[in-house]
């Protein structure tokens, strides 16, 4: 019966979470005659968390005012990657993405897939000045990277917060869509949904994403999603192939945590429990007869990692790590980003209707 319940759980999970193909939205041009398909861009750089501004703007502006406030902080990122063609000839492959200026020291936040593996990274500011950038650090799991330029009179973006966002709230996307000349493209829409999850592979998911219908196109990657106060509340990252107005942005609260580690260490050192997490839904609550409406359901336990070694089982529902409430997979992700491998934690979870606890030591991710 236990195995039948597990099978039912996975069927329910897959039916709820099934998504179309995800496409990251860098704009890339292959100059090779062998291949003219567009490709993803990526690259990271350096940043100083202490100098990153956090400005709270209480007044809602007009769209024109918000765009005017935000645009000077948006940059175009041009990259080039060298590859070998069919006859071992060197072929340059170029791409374009977007980014936001973080501070006066020249740290810029963008997507990892915009700059990953690139031989050169060039940044063009809104005033037309161009600089060569260096990679500070990157995190493929959250698709974030920090790069750095040396320039004067930089205008940092105003970073908001994403904790209290509401579905239906007006938002603005700004970025260098399709590498069109003449400055960034502006589109307006609403927050269509919150706490979205998209799967990158069998073991990696991007969680707690903002879904928006503001137009996001290739070249927008790494650009800001802002509120009507001109504050950045997300970093545009992906679209669903063949969808009609479905795009995703990394929420800025998670981006701040990742950026801080990239600036200080050049990488993100996150703990790993060894589970596949799924949010508690109404359907899962009824099927599993859960006593809670929020938490993280253990959909899979990876052998030889902390969860399996501490006795956590499939269908357990994690509700707290140490003293931190875990209401969804986004909370779990934030906790693990903030707690490094080797740290001992107390896990509070439900097994059916029984509240239980166990201790485990976080490991490195595989």
User: Which one of 143, 208, 254, 260 is the catalytic residue?
Assistant: 143
Residue of 190, 210, 173 lying closest to 98 (CA atoms): 173
User: Which one of 42, 221, 226, 276 is the catalytic residue?
Assistant: 221
- Residue-wise over 115-131: b if at least 16 C-beta within 10 A, else e? bbebeebbbbbbeeeeb
If DSSP codes are grouped into helix, strand and coil, which group holds residue 243? coil
User: Which one of 107, 113, 254, 276 is the catalytic residue?
Assistant: 113
- Token pair, residue 314, equals 């499939």
HEC readout, 72-95: HHEEEEEEEEEEECCCCCEEEEEE
With 0-12 CB in 10 A as exposed, 13-18 as middle and 19+ as buried, what is 170? Answer: middle
Q: Are 94 and 82 in contact (CB under 8 A)?
A: no
Residues 2 and 57: their CA atoms lie apart, in Å, by 53
Question: Is 221 assigned a catalytic role?
Answer: yes
Question: Is 143 assigned a catalytic role?
Answer: yes
Residues 360 and 71: their CA atoms lie apart, in Å, by 46
Catalytic residues: 113, 143, 221
């Amino acid at each position: 019966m236990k195995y039948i319940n597990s099978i039912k759980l996975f069927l329910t999970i897959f039916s709820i979470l099934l998504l179309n193909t995800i496409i990251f939205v860098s704009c890339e041009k292959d100059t090779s005659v062998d291949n003219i398909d567009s490709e993803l861009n990526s690259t990271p750089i350096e940043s100083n968390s202490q100098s990153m501004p956090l400005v709270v703007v209480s007044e809602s502006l007009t769209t024109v005012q918000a765009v005017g406030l935000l645009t000077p902080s948006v940059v175009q990122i041009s990259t080039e990657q060298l590859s070998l063609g069919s006859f071992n000839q060197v072929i340059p492959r170029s791409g374009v993405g977007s980014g936001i200026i973080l501070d006066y020291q020249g740290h810029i936040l963008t997507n990892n897939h915009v700059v990953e593996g690139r031989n050169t990274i060039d940044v063009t500011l809104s005033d037309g000045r161009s600089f060569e950038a260096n990679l500070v650090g990157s995190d493929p799991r959250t698709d974030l990277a920090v790069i750095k330029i040396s320039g004067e009179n930089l205008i940092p973006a105003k970073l908001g917060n994403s904790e209290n966002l509401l579905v239906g709230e007006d938002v603005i996307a700004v970025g260098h869509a399709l590498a069109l000349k003449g400055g960034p493209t502006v589109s307006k829409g609403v927050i269509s949904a919150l706490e979205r999850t998209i799967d990158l592979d069998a073991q990696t998911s991007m969680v707690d994403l903002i879904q928006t219908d503001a137009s996001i196109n290739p070249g927008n990657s790494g650009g800001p999603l802002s509120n009507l106060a001109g504050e950045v509340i997300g970093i545009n990252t992906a679209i669903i192939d063949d969808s009609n107005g479905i795009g995703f942005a990394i929420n800025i609260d998670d981006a701040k945590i990742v950026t801080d580690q990239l600036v200080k260490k050049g990488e993100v050192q996150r703990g790993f429990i060894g589970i596949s997490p799924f949010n508690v839904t109404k359907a899962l609550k009824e099927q599993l007869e859960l006593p809670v409406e929020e938490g993280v359901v253990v959909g899979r336990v990876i052998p030889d990692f902390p969860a399996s070694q501490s006795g956590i089982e499939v269908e357990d529902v994690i509700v707290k790590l140490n003293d931190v409430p875990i209401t969804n997979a986004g909370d779990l992700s934030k906790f693990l980003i903030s707690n490094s491998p080797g740290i001992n934690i107390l896990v509070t979870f439900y097994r059916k209707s029984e509240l239980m606890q166990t201790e485990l030591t976080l490991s490195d991710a595989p």
